[in-house]
Amino acid sequence: EKSERATMSNPPLIGSRISLISKKEIRYEGILYDINTSEATVALQSVRSFGTEDRKGVQFVPPSDVVYPFIKFRGSDINDLHVHDKND
């Protein structure tokens, strides 16, 4: 019972490194901080923007050296999401 509650309050993906591509084809990478199912949002911390890289059909956005403390993404703004392995 205890372990079940711990898992629910702290999903296993929290703390994982995530790559996320927005609907504008901008790739962000950061550490998964929160998944809010009622708001349909994903929050990342220590986030970097890699811009549009070489994705076609979108206006070019250059990468940024800024590391954002937190960014919250709406599910509707996410095109793709990848969870990196510990060795990835």
Query: Which pLDDT tens digit goes with each residue over 16-68?
Result: 999 999 999 999 999 999 999 999 999 999 999 999 999 988 899 999 999 99
pLDDT in the model for residue 34: 93
Instruction: Look at residue 9 in the predicted model and tell me its pLDDT.
Output: 53
How far apart, in whole angstroms, are the C-alpha atoms of residue 22 and residue 29?
A: 11
Query: How many secondary structure helices (H) and strands (E) does the chain include?
Result: 1, 5
Tell the residue number behind the tokens 């979108």, with chain if given: 58
pTM of the model: 0.82
Distance between CA 20 and CA 43 in Å, rounded? 11
